[in-house]
Amino acid sequence: MSLEIKIKMNESLFLKNPENSDLGKNIVQHAIQLIHLKGFEAFTFKKLAFSIGTTEAGIYRYFENKHKLLVYLTSWYWGWLEFKIDYHTNNISNPVVKLKKVISLLAKTVEDDKNTSHIDEGILHQIVISEGSKSYLTKHVGKDNKQKFFKPYKDLCNIVGKIILECNKKYKYPKSLASTIIEMAHLQNFFMNNLPSLTDFSKQKDESEIVSFLTEMVFSSIHINQK
């Protein structure tokens, strides 16, 4: 028996739920491939329609525009990651061990999750690294925020912030440190692969160096000896 994971999505992100039809799933699946291939700026609904074998109008029946599709994809990713973090840390009672696990889950390459058929989490992870911040770096971030578009991201940040507080109740900046970890787990990865002189990691090396950097930074900041 295989358990299909379903991430509960904000209904305002789509016109028709892509999870409920083959075309919808195809849109999501191929959007991930195409955004990864072309980059978000060069990605268009017309190209997406062509790659699926449907029409532009067909895509517009599911998503209002490509920005909402991006928010949908990143939201899905954060929701899925929260689930994954829950799953891998619920049996850990020591908050220090828990926080280390979270950092590792945030910064390490994602392998395709077989429990979600149409979504390739590995590629989606790459998209979140390269395009994720474009989902909120807009003039309409305030409106989008009112519509709860960033709830999954905030939820994750909150969870991480709470674990930080469990490690040290007196630490003054749990949320900022949490958002710093999350953002830097991705940005240091992007820099490592594209602008390596902005990091101390070589392209050859895997993400474990990023994990070490972040881990040392976090536990120093909250004055906990993690060794």
Partner DNA sequence: TATTTTAGATAGCAATACTATCAATAAATA
Partner DNA sequence: TATTTATTGATAGTATTGCTATCTAAAATA
In whole angstroms, the minimum distance from the beta carbon of 117 to DNA comes to 16
Does position 158 interact with its own copies (CB under 8 A)? The reply is yes
Chain positions 63 to 102 lying near DNA, rule: CB under 7 A, are: 64-67
- Regarding 137 and contact with its own copies (CB under 8 A), the answer is yes
Can you tell me which of 173, 205, 206, 208 binds its own copies, judged by CB under 8 A? 173
Q: Rule CB under 8 A: which of 11-50 touch its own copies?
A: 38-39, 41-42
- Site track 146-165 with DNA (rule: CB under 7 A), x = hit: --------------------
Output the smallest distance, CB 46 to DNA, in A. 5
By beta-carbon proximity to its own copies, the closer residue of 47 and 175 is 175
Residue 66 binding: pick among its own copies, DNA, none (C-beta 5-8 Å cut-off by kind): DNA
Residue 217 within binding range of its own copies, rule CB under 8 A:
yes
The window from 60-68, 125-133, 178-186, 200-208 that contacts DNA (CB under 7 A) reads 60-68
User: In the 3-class helix/strand/coil scheme, how is the chain assigned residue by residue?
Assistant: CCCCCCCCCCHHHCCCCHHHCHHHHHHHHHHHHHHHHHCCCCCCHHHHHHHHCCCHHHHHCCCCCHHHHHHHHHHHHHHHHHHHHHHHHCCCCCHHHHHHHHHHHHHCCCCCCCCCCCCCHHHHHHHHHHHHHHHCCCCCHHHHHHCCCCHHHHHHHHHHHHHHHHHCCCCCCHHHHHHHHHHHHHHHHHHHHHCHHHCCCCCCCCCHHHHHHHHHHHHHHCCCCCC
The residue range among 25-33, 85-93, 117-125, 145-153 that interacts with its own copies, by the rule CB under 8 A, is: 145-153
| Cβ–Cβ under 8 Å, residues 215 and 164 | no
Q: Which residues bind DNA (CB under 7 A)?
A: 16, 20-24, 42, 44-47, 53-58, 60-61, 64-67
